[in-house]
Amino acid sequence: MTFDVGTSDTRFSPRASRDRTPRVRRGDPPRGAPQVRTAIEGEQSAVGRARRLWSVLPKEYAERFRPYVGRLAKAMVREIQQVVPAYAQPLNSAFGVYFTQAIEQAILYPLSNIRDDVRSHEDWREVFRLRGKLEFHEGRSLDCLQTAYRVGGRVAWRHIAEFGQRHGAPVEVLCSCAEAIFAYVDELSALSIEGYAEAQERAAGTMARRRRRLLELILADPPASPQTLADLANNARWKLPEWVTMIALEPIADQHARSTPSIDADVLVDLEGAEPCLLVAGQITDVAALESGLRGWRAAIGPHVRLSEAALSLRWARRVIGLVQRGILPSAPVTCCTDHLTTLWLLNDEFLIRELSARSLAPLDGLTVKQRARLTETLLAWLQSRGSAPELAERLGVHPQTIRYRMHQLERLFGDRLNDPDERLSLEVSLRAERLLNR
């Protein structure tokens, strides 16, 4: 890659100064000076390479250049402000003074490293990590800062090249200066990216904690006050919806195969609790997309409810997860509560349903397991359809005479209860629940 050293700037154009200034390519070791060539070849990593390059330059040039640092800093500021409008503030403003001083320090650091390859630079590294953090907190993108670094590097190369030519610097020194400048720009960018990413991650962590706390308060018993929820929602940058849908989650893969759910940013998430869940504003209409985003998880979608009833929606979603675990409901990546309301109602209180079954189906207690299974199958089919013997025979896949024989047995066991609507309801409920629980 060829360095762009300001081709649009008539004050220093490679074409205009072809006879005086060497064309420098990044990564190509300069000719001459063995120590310069050794430094370039010996340190290729982005962080630390610039320091090594500065350390092999002649110290006398650094001392001569120091009086020009202020002038170079102001030139950098002016050109950066022209290219990056986000930094375009007066030089006498608080930001302008700080910006100029920061650039001066960035220039002085490499000058201090010339002929000094053991100088500690951890403090300097932290300065530029902090610069990245400040960019994030001030609401600017990294593009602004990285563009400023590139522009500053071009301006520095232009001024240093002119200075070197006036003082008769050898070609290999100018080559190593160019290499050092642009390695330095790379290092500043890398450090600022580290700081920016750290600040971004910390802010995301803070927001995630606020939203998790908001979810806890929404699901609390008793629920938090509307004002408390509104205040916390504002701090968490989350708009309180009127209607919500809760999703109960269960991991179905080990932690190495399980992925973090791919969900929208406005979904409240708790994956760290004993019973992980999601809160979705509004109603879920695309179950397939939800399933795709929850690979490695089993999900149960609770009823669509008002925000104040979110805990109730989650309760039923978790109930569905439990029934799937027991094999009562079929196993599927995503199960909707509303598809199994009858089952949920039947098994809402298993103690009571077993008590009902014991009373309603007591006449069958003296039968063998096979006899009971055949008669309960026939009785449930009759209760559901009230069909004739041929209709029931076709439904159950047996001979009509077999149905007649079984119905006579049922009439002897249950008597007039088969003619009572309330008893028939109790029998059907008991038989349906028994079938579900025996899966």
> How do residues 137-182 score in pLDDT, each as one tens digit?
777 887 888 888 888 889 888 888 888 888 888 888 888 888 888 8
What fold characterizes domain 34-200?
A: Globin-like (1.10.490)
207-218 pLDDT, tens digit per residue, is: 888 888 899 999
What's the pLDDT score for residue 396?
A: 92
More confidently predicted of 40 and 430? 430
Query: Which sequence spans correspond to the domains of the chain?
Result: 34-200, 241-346, 352-437
pLDDT band at 23 (very low <50, low <70, confident <90, very high): very low
Could you say which DSSP state residue 258 is in? P
pLDDT at 30 over 60: no
Task: Quote the CA–CA distance of 245 and 132 in Å, as a whole number.
Answer: 39
CA dist list (Å): 241 to 276, 277, 307, 410 = 21, 17, 7, 55
Q: Which CATH class is domain 352-437?
A: mainly alpha
Q: Which of 25-29, 165-169, 207-211, 303-307 has the highest mean pLDDT?
A: 303-307
Widest distance between CA atoms in the chain: 121
Candidates 21, 57, 60, 50; CA nearest to 36 is: 57
In Å, what is the CA distance from 286 to each residue of 123, 290, 301, 332?
Answer: 52, 7, 12, 16
Q: What is the pLDDT of residue 180?
A: 82
Residue 362 confidence (pLDDT) above 90: yes
pLDDT tens figures, 182-239: 888 888 888 888 888 888 777 767 788 888 889 999 998 887 888 889 988 888 889 9
Residue that is written with structure tokens 């569905």 in the block: 320
State yes or no: pLDDT of 242 exceeds 90.
yes
First-last CA distance in the chain:
70
Please state which CATH class domain 241-346 belongs to. Answer: alpha beta
Strands (E), 197-349: 243-251, 268-270, 277-281, 297-306, 334-336
Instruction: Choose between 361 and 58: higher pLDDT.
Output: 361
In the prediction, which pLDDT does 337 show?
A: 94
Mean pLDDT of 244-249: 95
- pLDDT at residue 258, rounded to an integer: 59
Q: Work out the burial of residue 380: count CB atoms within 10 Å of its CB; fewer than 13 is exposed, 13-18 middle, 19 or more buried.
A: middle
State the pTM of this model: 0.55
Work out the mean pLDDT of the chain and round it to a whole number.
Answer: 80
* pLDDT over 90 at 247, yes or no: yes
